[in-house]
Structure formats: C-alpha cells, structure tokens
Chains A and B, each alone.
Chain A
Amino acid sequence: MTTTVLPRVTYVNVKTTVASWLLTKDHKRIGILYLGLVAVAFLLGGIFAAAVRIELTTPQGDLLSADSYNRMFTAHGVMMVFFVLIPVVPGILGNFVMPLMIGAKDVAFPRLNLLSWYLLVIGFLFTIAALVSGGVDTGWTFYTPYSSLASNSNVVMTGLGIFIAGFSSILTGLNFMVTIHRMRAPGMTWFRLPLFVWALYATALVQILGTPIIAITLLMLVLERVLGFGIFDPRLGGDPVLFQHLFWFYSHPAVYIMILPPMGVISEVITCFSRKNVFGYSFVAFSSLAIAVFGFLVWAHHLFVAGISPYSAMVFSFLSFAVAIPSAVKTFNWTATLYQGAIWLQTPIWWAFGFLGLFLVGGLTGLFLASLGLDVHLHDTYFVVAHFHFIMVGGAIMGFFAGLHYWWPKMTGRMYNEFLSRFAAILVFVGFPLTFGPQFILGYLGMPRRYHVYPDEFQVLNVLSSAGASILAVGYTLIALYLLFSLWKGEKAGANPWKATGLEWQTESPPPPDNFAVTPIVTEGAYEYSKREIKVA
C-alpha cells in the first residue's frame, strides 16, 4: 500500500493557468503582477536614463539632438514617476503584505484591486504608444503654454496615459484605506498595527486627496490642445502659472506617496534586524500622518521663480521647512531603535542603512531649495536633480529593495543568495553617490538641467556621474538575476526565516490562498522582540 503526500496548497500552485493569474482576485497574485509591470517600467526608464547619461559624457550634443534629448528625459521622468515610483511599494509590497499584516483574508475590494492593476497596464500602454510614436518634449512637468500651445509632440496621448494610471493609484488608496479601517483581525487595534500599515494608510490619504487634481489638470490640458479650450492660454488672459499651481498641488504630495511606504518598510526592517521594539512607535505612526497632511501645504516651492507673489513664497518656504520635521522625527526614531540593538547584518538592513544615509542627504538638500534666496540660484539646476534623485532612488528605491529582500522569502518561499545580494548592494552603494554626488556640485556651479550641451569645465563631473550610472545599472541587473535565479534554485525558506514579529510571518511561505488557516487573534503590540530569538544561525 502506498501513501501519496500532496504538495501544500499555496497561492502560487492553487491554479496555474494564465487566466487564473490575469483574472485573479487574490491580493498576493496582484502584488506579483505589479512586480512584473513595474520591473518592465523600471527597465525602460533606465534605458532612457542611460541615453541621457551617455549624451552627457561629452559637452557637445553629439549623440542626440536637442529635441531628441528633450524627449528622452521626458520619457525617463514620466516612466519613472508614474509607472515605477508611485506604484512600486503600495502595488507590490503593500498589496502582498498588508492584508497579511492585519490578519485579513484579502483587501476590502479584491476586484477593484485587479482593476487598479489593469488601469496601470492601460496607462502604461498609452504612454508607450506615445513614446514609440515620437515621444513628448515638454518634460514630465508639462508646463503650459508650451505643452498646451506650442509643443508638437504626443502630449495628449501621454497625458491620457498618466490620467488612467492616476486612477489606478486612487483606487489602490481607496482600497487600502477601507481595508485598514474595516478588516483588521480581532485584537488588532490601531496602535498594535505594524508601522508599514500606518505608512500605507497615510499614503492612501495622499493618493485619495491629491491624485484627482492631476487628473483634472491633465484633462484641462488635453481639452486645451484638442478642443482649443483656453484655460491656460495667455493670449486670452489665461495664466500659465495656474497650471503650475494645479500640477504641483498633486505632484508635491505625490513625492510623499513615493517616500512614505518605503519609510514604512524601513521601520519594519530596522526593528527586525535590531531585534528591538521600535523607539517611539506613536511618534513614528503620527509622523506618517503629519507628512501626509503637511505635504499638501508646500507645493508652491516649485513655483518660487515662476512669478508668484513673494509674500506667498515666504509662506510656502516656511511650510516647506516645517514638513521636514516629521521626517526628521522618523530618522531620529530609527537611529534610536538601532542604538543598543543586537544588529543582525542581513541584506535587508544593508539596504536600510543605505536608505538612512542617502535619504538624510536628500532631505537636507531639500531645505537648501526651500530657502528662497538659495532657490533663485539653484532652481532648474542639477542641484535639484541631485536632490530628488537622492530621495527617490537613494531613499524610495532603496527602501523598496529593503522590503523586497525582507519579504522575498514570504512571497516566494525561497531565499536568495546572500553573497550576491550583498555584492549587488555594494555596487549600488558605490554607484549611487558617484552618479548623483557630482550633480550637487554641478548644480551649485550653475549647470542647468534639461540641457544636452554644457560648458567644457563641467565635463569631469559629468563623466563621473555617467560612470556611476553604469555601476548602478550593473547592480540593479544583478539583483533581478539572483532574485529570478532563487525561484529556481534558492534554498527553501520556512514560515519565518527572520524570526520576525508580525502576522505575516505566522503563516506559511508562500502563504495559502486564504492567508490564514484560522483567523488570528492579536494580543500584543507589533514589535515584541523581547520574546524572540536574536539570530537564526
């Protein structure tokens, strides 16, 4: 007599047809779908960046014409902002992990969740179509009146693509907000929630309140181009700066959509790998909300030299300084968590350390730009470019990789190769400052952004920057390779390879379709590390 042991049912093997993936309502599968889409977008955005950096190795405009260069950096910006940075952490890690963290079976509206992914796909396809058929030359900021009246590029198609992608973001925010309010397991009170959930909640606030504004603004731009409506047309008495106000009313809070979830990831990773409860839990939780709210009050710091009233500029400058405070609170709390912790140096915390250093630089340089007098000198120079790349790449993307490496065993049931993952991290830690550090100096020296030619004396710094970019490219490619390889040959991970707290680690890796065999009942706070082992091996 023989007995057959059936393989355990996971969200991966429960059904393996293509249709079962493309029509899934499972938040875990949707997270994986986002991973695929965002990875493709990141690759494309990286290729556009490569074109830019290769052109900038020489002072002359030899690789690309001015017009082609404009289209290239616009493509890079649009792809990275709307199809990588906005969806990367909420779409991938938020979708996969958040319902597990709160002990739910799924998000509140699973079909809406799938719709969110499809909207991002459709927006992506619109944008690709626009790029392939000639691109856009306005910059990702689409300033009028150039974008509304003069540019002969595919503004409308790109605008529509972003409009559609925006609804993806809105619906995700809506879904997460309702889920967090209404689907927490018994005993999971607000102050027992992991900080990643607080971060996603604050992000949802911004997605819901901010994104509709860029939607209507792009719609107005499209109407102006297609039908001749004259809302921003100076020949009719319209104000092009009004476009800037409306555009940045969303686009500034958007950067908080991009950074809040990675900050939540960092909170999780730092507590786990210091084997310690986070320092000042409620401060970190409330600082997420504060950043979300304050982030709506500062947008006109992008308009300091656009012709707004200096009195209004003073108000926005003051508020821009104020918004740095909750971010500083987080940084202090993370540092205090690390202090006297039993640091366990695994790949996720390597990325977290990278985040801490680089986000600090990026954040502080934001204060330089918030100072009115300095901004007159620095606006539209490479200083700004360096500032936001430090936060977005050095901060948000590194935070994402910290989370990806942390939750990879949970998502796939496999461990990646630790040597390769550390090597890739080192490549990025070397490549990144080399790419963007020189740009601070270039900006201070006066090199403007969005120009494909520059004076000869800036070449050395530009070459350093491009060299750094190639190292970054190798690093990121290596990450994709060893992660994919782990799916095939990686060591099998158990339910809780990091011996972490959190409900997501109480279920199998990969989790079963319904997440938990029995609905968990929560009786303790989020980070009771005093009861956990220090290390695994």
Chain B
Amino acid sequence: MPDGLAAHADLHGHAHDPALQHHFQTLDQQHEAATLGMWVFLVTEVMFFGGLLMAYLIYRIWYPEAWAEGSEELSIALGGFNTVVLITSSLTMALGVRSAQTGTPRATVKWLLITIALGLTFLVVKFFEYKEKWDLNHIPGPNFIFEGRPDLAPHLEIFYSLYFGLTGLHALHMVVGVSILSVVAWMAYRRRFTPNWYTPVEISGLYWHFVDVVWIFLFPLLYLVDRARQVS
C-alpha cells in the first residue's frame, strides 16, 4: 500500500487513509460531510447577496430612469469581457476538478493556475472600472457628482451605492476564491490529491462556480438596464 498508509497503520494499529479525520468512520462519510457543508455555506451566500439584490429590486422599480442612466454609463465592453473571463474560469475550474478526479496532478495544477490567472484578470479589469468611477466622481458619498443628469443625481447615488455594494462584495469573494485556489494549487503540486481523496479541489470548485453564478446575474442587472432606449 502507499507509504503514507503503511506509516499511518503503524501509528494506530489499524490501516486507513491518512486523509481520514478521526471523528469520521469512513472517507466516504468525510467527503459527503465536506461537500454538504460547502453547499450549506453557499446557501448562506445566496441569502447574503440576496439582501443587496432586494434593495436593488425595489429601487429599480421606483427609479427606472436613474437606473437606465447609471447603467448606460457602465462599459458593456469591460463588463462583457469580464463575463467571458469568469465563465471561462468556471470551465477551467471544472476541468481542474476533473483532473483531480482522474488522478492527473500536473493537469490539476495547470487548470487551477489558469483559473487563478483568469480570476486575477477579472479583478484587474474591475480595478480599472472602479478607477474610472473615481475619476468621474461617481463614488457615492459626499463627493458624488453626476454631470450628465444632475436632476437624477440623488437616485443615481443610490444606483451607484448598489453597484459598488454588489460588485464590491463580489470582488471580495473573488479575492477569497483566488486565495483558496492558490492554496489548493499548492496542495495539488505537492501531490496531496488522489482519485480517492480530492475534496479540497471539489469544494473550492463549488465555491468558485458560485461566484461565477453571482456575476452571471450581476452583469445584466447592472450593465444592461434599458439599453434599448438609446436605440429608439
């Protein structure tokens, strides 16, 4: 049997995978608990974003013109690019999990590193988007000015509060995600994962896909509000 297993057996008088934690009976049970735990955590994240989305919904109904104005000012090119980047990172993440499942550590590391790179790309683009807002004084607060439509400025300030709240919270989750994936990539590099145990890859994958799903909603909700009115 693998070295780790034999050494572990000596220590305990019974053989089991060194990855098995002692309060669990089997590796299967441990894996099921871990994935269930991550799913339950994602439920809390859904509700967490949900509170902000609730505020967004109310004010979109109340202030459609400000919403259209504010959305128009956001760059579809950058937002769309980021959407493509994030969806691609979901693909590479899924392929990374698959590599871990099939016991190909080099591929696992490769896919995880690409996912991280795509995540960082997203964050860099976000940084430039925020910087532009800063330059235009569109950050809500005492210095908020919206030169194009000063009559809508109060409502636009609410729009931008929600824009920064939603995308800022999302970006924070991306930072956490990139950090987690870095740790997992390191573990993969050190050959910690086998087809029998690759739980950290799987559950960080679930987290990453969730962050992607949030953006899938944020993109149309923030960037594509009433764009048709420019046409008509």
A and B interact: yes
Which residues in A have some Cβ–Cβ distance to B below 8 Å? Answer: 104-110, 170, 174-175, 177-179, 181-183, 208-213, 215-217, 220, 223, 227-231, 233, 235-239, 242, 245-246, 249, 519
Determine, out of B50-58, B86-94, B112-120, B130-138, the stretch whose residues face the partner at the interface: B50-58
Known: A213-B47, A220-B52. Is A235-B40 also a contact (CB below 8 A)? no
In the complex, the answer to whether B33 meets A108 with C-beta atoms within 8 Å is: yes
List B contacts of A239 (CB < 8 A): 58
CB A309 to nearest CB in B, in angstroms, measures: 13
In the complex, the answer to whether B22 meets A174 with C-beta atoms within 8 Å is: no
In the complex, the answer to whether A174 meets B161 with C-beta atoms within 8 Å is: no
Which residues in B have some Cβ–Cβ distance to A below 8 Å? Answer: 22-25, 29, 32-33, 36-37, 40-41, 43-45, 47-52, 54-55, 58-59, 62-63, 140-142, 144, 154-155, 157-158, 161-162, 164-165
In the complex, the answer to whether B157 meets A223 with C-beta atoms within 8 Å is: no
Tell me whether chain B's interface is mostly helix, strand or loop, or mixed. helix
Bound-state CA distance A108–B41 (Å) is 14
Given contacts A208-B43, A229-B140, 9 further A-B contacts (CB under 8 A): A107-B23, A181-B33, A209-B44, A212-B45, A216-B51, A220-B52, A227-B141, A228-B141, A229-B164
Instruction: Point out the residue from B24, B48, B161 that lies within 8 Å of A223, measured CB to CB.
Output: B161
Known: A108-B33, A182-B29, A238-B158. Is A231-B55 also a contact (CB below 8 A)? yes
List A contacts of B154 (CB < 8 A): 230, 235-237
Instruction: Point out the residue from B32, B37, B144 that lies within 8 Å of A109, measured CB to CB.
Output: B37
In the complex, the answer to whether B158 meets A212 with C-beta atoms within 8 Å is: no
List A contacts of B43 (CB < 8 A): 208-209
Known: A108-B37, A208-B43. Is A228-B158 also a contact (CB below 8 A)? no
In the complex, the answer to whether B44 meets A208 with C-beta atoms within 8 Å is: yes
B56 and chain A: residue at smallest CB distance: A231
In the complex, the answer to whether A237 meets B63 with C-beta atoms within 8 Å is: yes
In the complex, the answer to whether B158 meets A230 with C-beta atoms within 8 Å is: yes
List A contacts of B63 (CB < 8 A): 237
In the complex, the answer to whether A177 meets B45 with C-beta atoms within 8 Å is: no
List B contacts of A215 (CB < 8 A): 48, 51
List A contacts of B155 (CB < 8 A): 236-237
In the complex, the answer to whether B158 meets A231 with C-beta atoms within 8 Å is: yes
In the complex, the answer to whether A182 meets B40 with C-beta atoms within 8 Å is: no
List A contacts of B37 (CB < 8 A): 108-109, 174-175, 178
Instruction: Point out the residue from B22, B50, B55 that lies within 8 Å of A242, measured CB to CB.
Output: B55
Closest 5 interchain pairs by CB? A228-B141, A216-B51, A212-B48, A229-B161, A236-B154
List B contacts of A183 (CB < 8 A): 23-24, 29, 33
Tell me whether chain A's interface is mostly helix, strand or loop, or mixed. helix
In the complex, the answer to whether A110 meets B23 with C-beta atoms within 8 Å is: yes
In the complex, the answer to whether A209 meets B29 with C-beta atoms within 8 Å is: no
A181 and chain B: residue at smallest CB distance: B36
CB A170 to nearest CB in B, in angstroms, measures: 5
Q: List 5 A-B contacts (CB under 8 A).
A: A208-B44, A212-B48, A230-B161, A231-B55, A236-B158
In the complex, the answer to whether B48 meets A227 with C-beta atoms within 8 Å is: no
In the complex, the answer to whether B157 meets A208 with C-beta atoms within 8 Å is: no
A112 and chain B: residue at smallest CB distance: B37
List A contacts of B54 (CB < 8 A): 242, 245-246
In the complex, the answer to whether A227 meets B36 with C-beta atoms within 8 Å is: no
List B contacts of A104 (CB < 8 A): 23
B55 and chain A: residue at smallest CB distance: A231
List B contacts of A107 (CB < 8 A): 23
Bound-state CA distance A531–B25 (Å) is 31
A229 and chain B: residue at smallest CB distance: B161
Bound-state CA distance A22–B200 (Å) is 27
Known: A236-B157, A238-B158. Is A210-B47 also a contact (CB below 8 A)? yes
List B contacts of A212 (CB < 8 A): 44-45, 47-48, 50-51
Known: A208-B40, A235-B154, A246-B55. Is A213-B50 also a contact (CB below 8 A)? yes
B22 and chain A: residue at smallest CB distance: A105
List B contacts of A228 (CB < 8 A): 140-142, 144
List B contacts of A108 (CB < 8 A): 23, 33, 37
Bound-state CA distance A178–B47 (Å) is 19
Bound-state CA distance A210–B46 (Å) is 11
List A contacts of B58 (CB < 8 A): 239, 242
Bound-state CA distance A396–B196 (Å) is 46
List B contacts of A242 (CB < 8 A): 54-55, 58
Known: A177-B40, A209-B43, A236-B154. Is A182-B55 also a contact (CB below 8 A)? no
In the complex, the answer to whether A211 meets B44 with C-beta atoms within 8 Å is: yes
List B contacts of A213 (CB < 8 A): 47-48, 50-51
Bound-state CA distance A239–B23 (Å) is 50
List A contacts of B36 (CB < 8 A): 177-178, 181-182
